[in-house]
Chain A
């Protein structure tokens, strides 16, 4: 297993365009998390899935954001009508049921909205 993979690593888009990011978690991990990290800050929780069910969404996740995890495997995070304030690093993490083991993070997708 190669860990958590995120694609793309970098994305530059014009304001108003839609973007989609993909995350492939560790195969035996049933929980998947999306976080957003801006410069000089810690990761902020966006949403989480247990298998294919999206169980919690942060208030940070406006209606321009949508996340899916079909079949409980990979996940996608889509941002519609991007704004400059969406520029950030988007991190995906996965874990087993027992969260006391901590998360395994991917390397992130850096989004720049120009």
Chain B
């Protein structure tokens, strides 16, 4: 079946530290991969995406590379800010007749000033 596994949180970092949130997936077929971010009290927002192997998605200083050989899509940022504190969800979409998206459990990030 299709599933997404993320590293458990919370992840606590100091401002300007390097961030990595690991994500691996299993999929029947060739998925598109996404990272979404959820700020407190809000819905999810699309952060970045990659649709084929070796694609790099990037947005707001965040990056993730679609690695088919390791079935991974790790999220990275070189220097986090307090405003990056949120929950981050890795997700995949496969055309199983419905293009529904499967989400990981989420990783909470706290950034301290």
Q: Which residues of A contact B (CB under 8 A)?
A: 4, 6, 31, 33, 35, 40-45, 48, 55-56, 91, 93, 95, 99-108
Q: A45-B102, A99-B32 are in contact. Are A104 and B46 (CB under 8 A)?
A: yes
- Check B106–A102 contact: CB distance below 8 A: no
- Check A103–B46 contact: CB distance below 8 A: yes
Considering only CB atoms, which chain A residue lies closest to B51 in the complex? A100
- Check B103–A42 contact: CB distance below 8 A: yes
- Check B44–A91 contact: CB distance below 8 A: yes
Q: Which residues of B contact A (CB under 8 A)?
A: 4, 32, 34, 36, 41-46, 49, 51, 89, 91, 93, 95, 97-106
26 contacts between A and B (CB under 8 A): A31-B99, A33-B100, A42-B4, A42-B89, A42-B91, A44-B103, A45-B101, A48-B99, A48-B100, A56-B100, A91-B44, A93-B43, A93-B44, A99-B32, A99-B93, A99-B95, A99-B99, A99-B101, A100-B51, A101-B49, A102-B46, A102-B49, A105-B43, A107-B41, A107-B43, A108-B43
Complex Cα gap A99–B46 (Å): 12
Complex Cα gap A42–B42 (Å): 14
Complex Cα gap A31–B34 (Å): 18
